[in-house]
């Protein structure tokens, strides 16, 4: 099948690779424009572009899709199917209507739950026990199209967003290949989403990780896991940001946000229903390290109330 692939970040790379290895003809790969990174602000290609170039797949990086200019790419590549995986832009109707088999999206949740830009993060932050991948026909709404296939997985009790992201990206690749196979055979089914069961997963920002110590320990641990590796959870220690990277439940009690102890086992901090024990941190201007290593050269003052 002639497939135009639209994707940008690491999450989409296994899907691109899987389609190539399944023997499909990738007529092009569409990604967001290169972005400046690092201290030198040198332009870096998005992961999908880099992988596509390895396969000698033509790459297109339009700054907008709304002006109709992308029609020329469609006419040039003549895709039978457009596969979209974390591309990052909403597709206008003229693109959705172009391919014979339609536009298919790989989404990192069990739809209709967690429509939106950050389904994996919010699944962890909200303490979900299971999540998965859904393939669907794309429609003009936000992740509202008819569903095709689903794959479910349990979320590990200590699993971070980053770890779950990597697992789901591989699951998504496998499910996309199965979906394309069913489309070719004409056996792909359509299941309408129940809007009443939907919830929204908005994009995260750095403030999302700011810890509210009035919440329960479990909620705080979920936030720490769900924002790792980005944007990371943090609190303010004497006005200075302190990122909390690894933590577990503890049993001590105290004033909300109070540092109850700080030793080689970790930093015990009181929260809404007890406390948590933070085992790995990153202070501003420093590398991430376990608490025992940090305390070798620094002091964490017991009794301090975190902001």
Is the pLDDT score of 231 beyond 90? yes
Domain boundary among 170, 197, 224: 197
How many domains does one find in the chain? 2
Same-domain pairing of 256 and 172: no
Q: At what angle do helices 47-54 and 13-21 cross, to 10 degrees?
A: 20
User: 124 in a domain, yes or no?
Assistant: yes
Gap between the Cα atoms of 88 and 140, Å rounded: 14
Q: Are strands 289-290 and 274-283 parallel, antiparallel or unpaired?
A: antiparallel
Same-domain pairing of 14 and 142: yes
Contact 198, 115 (CB under 8 A): yes
pLDDT of 206 reads: 96
| Mean pLDDT of all residues in 212-240 | 98
Domain boundary among 197, 215, 245: 197
pLDDT of 40 reads: 82
User: 305 in a domain, yes or no?
Assistant: no
Q: In terms of residue numbers, what domain contains 87?
A: 2-197
Give me the percent of the chain exceeding a pLDDT of 70: 100
Same-domain pairing of 191 and 276: no
pLDDT 10s digits, 259-275 = 999 999 999 999 999 99
Same-domain pairing of 142 and 28: yes
Q: What is the CATH number of the domain that holds 271?
A: 3.10.25.10
- Mean pLDDT over the full length of the chain: 97
Gap between the Cα atoms of 86 and 46, Å rounded: 12
Domain boundary among 165, 197, 229: 197
Q: 252: which 2 tokens?
A: 């001590």
Same-domain pairing of 8 and 128: yes
Q: What is the CATH number of the domain that holds 189?
A: 3.40.50.170
User: 103 in a domain, yes or no?
Assistant: yes
Same-domain pairing of 18 and 59: yes
pLDDT of 38 reads: 80
pTM: 0.96
pLDDT of 53 reads: 98
pLDDT of 113 reads: 98
pLDDT of 155 reads: 98
User: 307 in a domain, yes or no?
Assistant: no
Same-domain pairing of 91 and 229: no
Same-domain pairing of 78 and 178: yes
pLDDT 10s digits, 157-182 = 999 999 999 999 999 999 999 999 99
pLDDT 10s digits, 236-254 = 999 999 999 999 999 999 9
Tell me the DSSP string of the chain. -EEEEEE-SGGGHHHHHHHHHTT-EEEEEE-PPPEEETTTTEEE--HHHHHHHHTT--EE--S-STTSTTHHHHHHH--SEEEEES--SPPPHHHHTSSTT-EEEEESSSTTTTBSS-HHHHHHHTT-SEEEEEEEE--SSSS-SPEEEEEEEEPPTT--HHHHHHHHHHHHHHHHHHHHHHHHHT----B---GGG--B-PPP-GGGGB--TTS-HHHHHHHHHHTTTTT-EEEEETTEEEEEEEEEEE----STTBEEEEETTEEEEEETTEEEEEEEEEETTS--EEHHHHHTT----TTPBP-
User: 175 in a domain, yes or no?
Assistant: yes
| Mean pLDDT of all residues in 81-109 | 97
Is the pLDDT score of 37 beyond 90? no
User: 246 in a domain, yes or no?
Assistant: yes
| Mean pLDDT of all residues in 185-212 | 97
| Mean pLDDT of all residues in 137-163 | 96
Same-domain pairing of 94 and 10: yes
Same-domain pairing of 180 and 256: no
pLDDT of 205 reads: 97
User: 86 in a domain, yes or no?
Assistant: yes
Query: 32-59 in b/e burial notation, b at 16+ Cβ within 10 A?
Result: beeeeeeeeeeeebbbbbebbeeeebeb
| Mean pLDDT of all residues in 213-229 | 98
Same-domain pairing of 67 and 191: yes
| Mean pLDDT of all residues in 10-16 | 98
| Mean pLDDT of all residues in 193-216 | 97
- Please, which pLDDT band fits residue 141 given cuts at 50, 70 and 90? confident
Is the pLDDT score of 39 beyond 90? no
Residue entry with tokens 């050269």: 297
Same-domain pairing of 124 and 178: yes
User: 302 in a domain, yes or no?
Assistant: no
| Mean pLDDT of all residues in 2-27 | 98
């Amino acid at each position: 099948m002639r497939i135009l692939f639209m994707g940008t970040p690491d999450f989409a790379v296994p899907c691109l690779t899987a389609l190539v290895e399944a023997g499909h003809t990738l007529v092009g790969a569409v990604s967001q424009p290169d972005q400046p990174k690092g201290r030198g602000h040198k332009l870096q290609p998005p992961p999908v572009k880099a992988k596509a170039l390895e396969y000698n797949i033509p790459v297109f990086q339009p700054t907008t899709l709304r002006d109709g200019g992308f029609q020329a790419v469609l006419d040039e590549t003549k895709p039978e199917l457009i596969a979209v995986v974390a591309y990052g832009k909403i597709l206008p109707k003229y693109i959705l209507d172009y391919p014979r088999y339609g536009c298919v999206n790989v989404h990192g949740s069990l739809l209709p739950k967690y429509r939106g830009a950050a389904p994996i993060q919010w699944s962890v932050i909200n303490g979900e026990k299971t999540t998965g991948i859904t393939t669907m026909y794309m429609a003009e709404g936000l992740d509202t199209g008819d569903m095709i296939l689903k794959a479910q997985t349990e979320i590990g009790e200590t699993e971070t967003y980053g770890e779950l992201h990597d697992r789901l990206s591989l699951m998504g690749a496998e499910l996309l290949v199965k979906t394309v196979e069913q489309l070719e055979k004409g056996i792909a089914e359509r299941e309408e989403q129940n809007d009443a069961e939907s919830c929204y997963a908005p994009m995260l920002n750095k403030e999302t990780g700011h810890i509210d110590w009035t919440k329960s320990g479990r909620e705080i641990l979920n936030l720490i896991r769900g924002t790792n590796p980005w944007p990371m959870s943090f609190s303010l220690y004497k006005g200075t940001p302190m990122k909390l990277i690894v933590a577990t439940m503890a049993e001590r009690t105290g004033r909300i946000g109070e540092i109850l102890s700080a030793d080689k086992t970790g930093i015990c901090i009181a929260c809404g229903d007890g406390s948590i024990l933070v085992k790995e941190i990153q202070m501003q201007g420093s590398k991430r390290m376990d608490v025992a290593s940090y305390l070798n050269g620094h002091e964490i003052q017991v009794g301090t109330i975190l902001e």
